[in-house]
Amino acid sequence: MYAAGWADQSPFTTTYQKLSADPGWTTHALPGGHNLMGDNPDELATILDRAASH
């Protein structure tokens, strides 16, 4: 999960870009900062629910 809404560039941007280009990984980017559950709870819960059902 990548928090794409940091005020400055996230320290994880390079890692996210690398993993999102790798077909062995599934990545998601959500608008929000470090606290995605607080910033974007509905979308985060949907992604986690889908991951748990696989």
- What are 7-36's pLDDT values in tens digits? 888 889 999 999 999 999 999 999 988 899
User: pLDDT at position 8, please?
Assistant: 83
**32 backbone φψ class: left, alpha, beta (φ>0; ψ -120 to 50):** left
DSSP secondary structure code for residue 21 in this structure: T
Domain interval for residue 20: 2-52
User: pLDDT at position 2, please?
Assistant: 92
How many structural domains are present in the chain? Answer: 1
Q: Please give the Cα distance from 47 to 1 (Å, whole number).
A: 9
In DSSP terms, 16 is beta-bridged to: none
Sequence-ordered alpha helix ranges (H) in the chain: 13-20, 36-39, 41-52
User: pLDDT at position 10, please?
Assistant: 86
For the segment 40-50, the average pLDDT, to the nearest whole number, is: 94
pTM: 0.78
DSSP secondary structure code for residue 49 in this structure: H
